[in-house]
Amino acid sequence: MIQYTLKRLLETIPIWVAITLIVFLLMNFIPGDPVMQLMDARSGAIDEQVVEQIREEWGLNDPLYMQYLNFLTNLVQGDLGTSFQSRMEVTSVLLERIPVTIQVTLLGLFFAIVIGVTAGIISAMKRGNWLDTFVSTFSIAGVSLPAFFLGLLLMYIFSVKLNWLPASGYKLGEVKFLILPAITLGLSVSGIIARITRSSMIDVLKMDYMVTSYAKGLSKYRILGIHAMKNALSPILTIIGVQLGLLLSGAVITETIFGLPGIGRLLIDGILQRDIPVVQGCVIFISTVFLVVNLLTDICCRLVDPRIRSEH
């Protein structure tokens, strides 16, 4: 297993390089000069000479491949460069934001799994029953609702009307700021998890060996808990792995609405202001998390479902 993990880790390196290269090319490809974004465009106080000076100072006049090689060399040394906009080290900018996004995402994922898996199991067991219909419809409704809409709705109820939770803001270690964003984030994902859980559970429940287990006279909960869950876990884990990545990038909307200082907003601002080093930093972070989560998902799947193991 350790060998497998190491092998997988090594395999992620080329993907990683490909990602940084694509981001680099895309950011250079999009119209909108990064140095121009520093200037006050509305009052038009732009001095070509100064623009040229800054470009020279930051090495933006070098040929593209040189710029990318420089970026890679620095990256290997753990240096992500300096933000064009804030002139801060990208690593320290990221370190400030990452905890916020991770907290919201994990809390959101927690809500999503708890709600989603429970709902999925209930409706799989009570298939056809009113409870199944209710849970299915509810979970589908959750997915069909735009996130910003849900966010505003929650904000309106819990902040304006009930005055229970703050509408926006963030303080380290205070969970109250994270609850509404996490629910907003988690609810849409919980629907997906519920549906995958339900459909996988139904698949498994129909399998020959489940029928056998029934025949053997095992208790319903035992069958469900041990046999069914174990076999349905692989697709559920896969979807959770995929969703975590989506949660991370889906954080943009929730972070904007609830005024949370996370990676999502940093990334969007970075793209809009053509702050290439910041965009690179965010993408590297998101892709790393994604690759690691994937790796973990695969390892978990292999542990849960030994049949997959034989194939490698």
Partner 1 sequence: MVKLETSSGNLEVQSTQPLQKVKARRKFKISLSNVLIGLTMVIFATVLCAPLITSYNPNENDLTSVLQAPSAAHLMGTDHLGRDIFTRVLFGGQKSLLIALLVQGIAVSVGALLGLIAGYIGGRTDKFIMALTNIIFSFPGILFAIAIMAALGTSVFNLILALSLVSWPEMCRLVRSQTMALKEREFVEGGYALGASVYRILFKYILPNCYGNIVVIATLGMAGTMLAEASLSFLGLGVQPPDASWGSMVNTGKDYLYQAPWYVFSPGIVMFITILGINLMGDKLRDYFDPKM
Partner 2 sequence: MKLRKLSILLLISMFTLVLAACSGGETGSSSKSSNSQSTNNGEPQSGGTLTRAHIYGDPQNLDPIIRSHGTATSMITWNIFEPLVRYDAEKGEYLPGNAESWENNEEGTVYTFKLKQGVKFHNGREVKAEDFKYSLERLVNPENASPNAGNLQMVVGYEEYTSGSASELTGVKVVDDYTLEITISAPNNTFLSIMSLPYTAAVPKEVVEELGDEFGSKPVGAGPFKFSSWVRDSEIVLEKYEDYFAGAPYLDTVVYKILTDQAARDTAFSSEQIDMMILGDAQYAQYKSNTQYAELMIEVPELFIRNLRFNLEKEGPWQDVKVRQAINYAIDRETIIATVLGGKAYPAKGILPTSIKGYNEEVFSYPYDPEKAKELLKEAGYENGFTLPILTTSHSAFGVTAVEAMSGYLEEVGIKIEIEQVDMATLADRASSGDFDTMMYSNGGMTNLVEFISKYFHSDNFGATGNTGYYKNEEVDALLDKALTTTDENEMIELSRQAEAIVVEEAPMWFFNYNKAVIVHQPWVKGLQPVPTDIDYQDLRKVWIDESAKN
Task: Restricting to residues 20-79, name those near partner 2 by CB under 8 A.
Answer: 30-33, 36-51, 53-54, 57-58
**Lookup: tokens for 90:** 């990208």
Q: How many CA atoms lie within 13 A of 24 on its CB side?
A: 19
Give dist(CA 190, CA 109) in Å, integer: 8
Q: Smallest gap, in angstroms, from Cβ of residue 69 to partner 2?
A: 22
Shorter beta-carbon distance to partner 2: residue 84 or 290: 84
The window from 59-67, 70-78, 86-94, 279-287 that contacts partner 1 (CB under 8 A) reads 279-287
* Placement of tokens 């929730």 in the chain: 254
Round to whole Å and give the CA distance between 293 and 187: 20
Going by C-alpha positions, the residue among 278, 97, 98, 104 that lies closest to residue 177 is 104
**Assigned token pair, 172:** 């380290």
Does residue number 135 form part of the binding site for partner 1 (CB under 8 A)? no
Residues 265 and 252: beta-carbon distance below 8 Å: yes
Interatomic CA distance for residues 245 and 105, integer angstroms? 10
Interaction with partner 1 in 26-65: which residues (CB under 8 A)?
A: 26, 29-31
Which residues 181-210 are close enough to bind partner 2 by CB under 8 A? Answer: none
- CA 140 to chain CA centroid, Å, is 21
| Closer residue to partner 1 in complex, CB, 122/286 | 286
3: exposed, middle or buried (C-beta count within 10 Å: 0-12, 13-18, 19+)? exposed
Two structure tokens written together for 76: 């290997």
Rounded CA separation 241/247 (Å): 10
Which range touches partner 1 (CB under 8 A), out of 52-60, 110-118, 133-141, 163-171?
133-141
Question: Is residue 19 near partner 1 by the rule CB under 8 A?
Answer: yes
The option from partner 2, partner 1, none interacting with 46 (CB < 5 to 8 A, set by class) reads partner 2
* Angstrom distances, CA of residue 286 to CA of 166, 176, 266: 28, 25, 12
At 89 the three-state DSSP class reads: strand
Is residue 82 part of the contact set for partner 2 (CB under 8 A)?
Answer: yes
Of 9, 18, 72, 226, which one interacts with partner 1 (CB under 8 A)? 18
Among 143, 167, 296, 300, binds partner 1 (CB under 8 A): 143
- Could you say whether residue 273 binds partner 2 (CB under 8 A)? yes
173 lies in the site for partner 1, by CB under 8 A: no
> Residues binding partner 1: what is the number (CB under 8 A)?
62
Binding mask 233-272 for partner 1 (x = CB under 8 A): -xx--xx--x--x---x--xx-------------xx--xx
Quick check: 276 binds partner 1 (CB under 8 A)?
Answer: no
Q: List b or e across 206-233, with b for residues whose CB sees 16 or more CB atoms inside 10 angstroms.
A: eeeebeebeeeeeeeeebbeebbbebbb
**According to CB under 8 A, which one of 159, 199, 249, 294 is a site residue for partner 2?**
159
Which residues contact partner 1 by CB under 8 A? 11-12, 14-15, 18-19, 22-23, 26, 29-31, 133, 136-137, 140-141, 143-149, 152, 191-192, 195-196, 199, 202-203, 206, 234-235, 238-239, 242, 245, 249, 252-253, 267-268, 271-272, 279, 282-283, 286-291, 294, 301, 305, 307-308, 310-311
